[in-house]
Chains A and B, each alone.
Chain A
Amino acid sequence: MIEVKNLTKRYGSHLAVDHLNFQVETGQIYGFLGPNGAGKTTTMNMMTGYLGATEGEVTINGHDILDEPEEARRQIGYLPELPPLYQEMTVEEYMRFAAELKQLPRGQRKQLMEEAMEIADIMDVKDRLIRNLSKGYKQRTGLAQAVLGFPEVIILDEPTVGLDPRQIIEIRDVIKGLGKKHTVILSSHILSEVSAVCDHIMIISHGRLVASDTPENLTRMMEGGNELLLTAKTGREQANRILEPLTELKSVEISPSEEASCVNIRLQTEKTVDIREKLFFTFAAAGVPLLTMKASDRTLEDIFIELTENDAKDEAGREPEGLDSAGTEQPEKEAE
C-alpha cells in the first residue's frame, strides 16, 4: 500500500504539486490522468524518491521513502517518462546491470531477467545495442527494467508513448496481467488508455487532485440527465412552438443545421424519463419530419475536459464542484 500525505513540490514560486493526498491499495491498477504539465511526472518522481518533496511524505508499505529509502525503493519498479537506457549497452547487458542494481538474488537473476524480457517481448532483440533499437523497443526495454524482479509496486510514466497501436494493446494486456498480483500506477494524458486498463482513476490538474474514483462512478457522477440530439426539417420558431407543451424537457437548445431548411435541437430530460416516442408523435402530429434522433453519450473525455477546465476557472477564485470521494480530500484552495 502506498500512502501519500500532503505532498507538495514548489519550484521557486511555481507550485508544481499542491498538497496531494491519496492512498493506493495493493493489487489494483491506478491511473494518473491530467493534461500536460499537471504535475503527474513530478508526483511520480517524488513517490520513487528521485525528487525530494517540499512538504509532505510518501510511505511505501510502511517504509518512508526518505527515512528508509533503500527498503522503500526495493519495492518499486519505475519506468520514467524517458526510459533510462544506456545507449552503448546491449539489451541483455542492460538488464543484467538493472538486476545487479536491484540486488536480485544471484541464483534467480537469469530467470527473472528472462521473465521480464518475455513480458515486454524483447527476447529477440536482447543481443542488440540499445542505441540501434526503435523507439517502441526502447520503451519496452524500459518496461522490462521496471517489472524486473516483480516489485510490489510498479510505477509507469506514460508507458505507451511511442508504441504502435498493436503494441499499445499488447502493453495494456501486460499491465492488466501485472495488476492481478502487483500494484500498478500509470500516468497518461490519453483517456481511453486509462479507462481501458485502470480500476481507479485520479484526475490531476494544476498539481491538485480534482477527482478520484472508478471509471464507472466518474461517468455516473457526471451524468446530469438524458440528452437527445435531433435534426428536424423546420424553422426555429415552429420548433419552439412544437416543443413548448412538453413539460418533461429541462432544457432546449436550437441551432441552425448544415442541412438546408433544418435545425439541430439539443434536449435534456431527467435521467428516468424516456421521451423519444412522445417526441416522435408530437413532431408527426405537427407534420414536421424528424431526420435524426440520437442519444448523446457523455464520455469520460467530456468529464476530463470539464474537470480540468473547471479547475482552470478556479484559479480565478471560483469554488470548485465538490467531487471528492472515498479516500481523497479536496485540498483548500490557495489564492495564487
Chain B
Amino acid sequence: MAAVYKRELHGYFTSMIGYVVLAFMLFFPSVYFIFLNLYSGYPLFGYALSSISFIFMIVIPILTMRSLSEERRNKTDQLLFTSPVSLWKIIAGKYLSMVTVMGAVCLVLCTCPLIIRMFGGIYTLSDYVCILAFFLYGCASIAIGLFISSLTESQIIACVGTFGVLLILYLMPGMTEIIPDTAGASFLGFWLLILLVAYCFYQITKNWMAGVIGAAAGTVILTAAYLLNADAFAGAFPAFLNSLSLASRFDSFVYQVLDVPAVIYYISISVLFVFLTVQSVEKRRWS
C-alpha cells in the first residue's frame, strides 16, 4: 500500500495536476478570506469556506479523473493487480494519496483562523472544526470521483461524470423544491428508488431472483409503512434527497454547530464509495 501511495503522490507532483489543484484550492479560499474576513470583518472563517465549497466541483474531478482510468488505459493496472498486494490496499493507497493532497490544502488553511485571532477573533476553535468538516467534505467528494474513475477508461468521461454528480449533489436542495411534497408523491419516489437499487443489485450480482426478491420485499415494507402511517410520508422524499446533499451538511458547521451526524455522513460516503470502487474493479476482472 505504501508503494502505491508514494507513487501516486509522486505522480501528482511530477505532473501539473498536483500543482493546479493546490493553486486552485489555495487561491480561491485566500481571496474569499481576504474579502470576507479581513476586508469586511466577518469573524467566522466558515463563511469563507462555505462560499467556496463549489470549488470542489471543479477541482476534485481534476484530482480524481486519472486515478484508475489512466491505469486501465495504459494497462499499468496489469502490474498492480498481478503484484502480491491486495486490491483493497491498492485502492486505499490511491485514495489516501488524494486525501493527502486535500490535507495539505487544509493544513495551509489552518493558518487563517490564527490570522483572524491576531485581530481579536474569538471563534478559533469552531473555525478549526469547520476546516475539519471542509476536509471531510473534500474526502467524500474524492471517494465519489475515485469510484467514477474506476468505471471508465477515459479521463475526460471520468472528469465530466464526477463534475455532474458533484453538481447534482450541490444543487440538490434547490432541485427538491420542485418535487411535490404530498404523501403519495413521496411513496412513489421511495418506490422508484427501491426499484433502482434492486436493479443495480441485479446488475452487480447478475442474479435476477435476488433483484426481484429485493424489489418485492422493499415494496411490501414500503406499502406497510405507508398504510400504517401515511402522514409521516408527507414531504419525506424531498427531505431524504436533501439529506444526501454534501454541501447543505456543511452549513451547520458554519453556524458553529459540531454536527456529529454530518461527520458520520461524510465518513460513511467516503467508505461506501471506496468500497464500491473495489467492487467495480473486482467485477471487471470477472466479466
A interface list, Cβ under 8 A from B: 45, 48-52, 69-71, 73-74, 76, 78, 80-82, 84-89, 93, 97-98, 100-103, 145
Q: Which residues of B lie under 8 Å from residue A101 when comparing CB positions?
A: 3-4, 79-80, 83-85
A234, B75: Cα distance in complex, Å: 62
**Does B40 sit at the interface, judged by CB under 8 A?**
no
Main secondary structure of the interface of B (DSSP, over half): helix
Partner of A48, one of B7, B74, B82: B82
Among A49, A73, A86, the residue within 8 A (CB) of B7 is A86
Contacts of B80 in A (CB 8 A): 84, 101
Q: Report yes or no: A80 in contact with B78, Cβ–Cβ below 8 A.
A: yes
Interface centre among A45, A100, A102, by most B CB within 10 Å?
A100
The count of chain B contact residues (Cβ–Cβ below 8 Å) is: 24
CB <8 Å contact, A70 and B79: no
CB distance from B1 to the nearest CB of A (A): 10
Given known pairs A51-B285, A70-B84, A74-B84, the reply for A88 and B11 (CB within 8 Å) is yes
* Nearest CB in chain B: distance from A86 CB, A: 6
The verdict on B15 contacting chain A, using a C-beta distance below 8 Å, is yes
Q: Are B83 and A73 in contact (CB under 8 A)?
A: yes
In the bound complex, CA of A71 to CA of B14 (Å)? 33
Chain A residues with Cβ under 8 A from B2's Cβ? 100
Interface string of B1-43 (1 = CB under 8 A from A): 0111011001100110000000000000000000000000000
Q: Which residues of B contact A86 (CB under 8 A)?
A: 7, 11, 74, 76
B285 partner residues in chain A, CB cutoff 8 A:
50-52
B286 lies within 8 A of chain A by Cβ: yes
Q: Decide if B240 is an interface residue (CB 8 Å cutoff).
A: no
Q: Which B residue's beta carbon lies closest to that of A96?
A: B3
Give Cα A49–Cα B78 distance, bound, in whole angstroms: 9
Min Cβ gap B88→A in Å is 11
Give the residues in chain A near B84, CB-CB below 8 Å: 69-71, 73-74, 101-103
Cβ B15 vs Cβ A88 within 8 A: yes
Contact B86 A84 (CB under 8 A): no
Q: Which of B2, B15, B78 has the most CB of A within 10 A?
A: B78
Most buried by B among A73, A100, A101: A101
Alpha-carbon distance between A88 and B86 when the two chains are bound, in angstroms: 24
1/0 per residue, CB under 8 A from A, across B50-63: the answer is 00000000000000
Nearest-CB distance from B20 to chain A (Å)? 15
Question: Is B81 in contact with A70, judged by CB distance below 8 angstroms?
Answer: no
Please determine whether A70 and B85 come into contact, CB atoms closer than 8 angstroms: yes
**Closest beta carbon of chain B to A73's beta carbon, Å:** 4
Asked if B177 lies at the interface with its beta carbon under 8 angstroms from chain A, I say no
Asked whether A80 lies within 8 Å of B75 as measured between CB atoms, the reply is yes
Bound complex: CA A265 to CA B213 (Å): 75
Cα-based distance from A81 to B86 in the complex (angstroms): 22
Nearest-Cβ distance from residue A58 to partner chain B, whole angstroms: 12
Hey, which chain B residues are within 8 Å of A102, CB to CB? 83-84
> What CA separation (Å) do A86 and B75 show in the bound complex?
10
- Known contacts A97-B7, A100-B2, A101-B3; is A84 also within 8 Å of B85 by CB? no
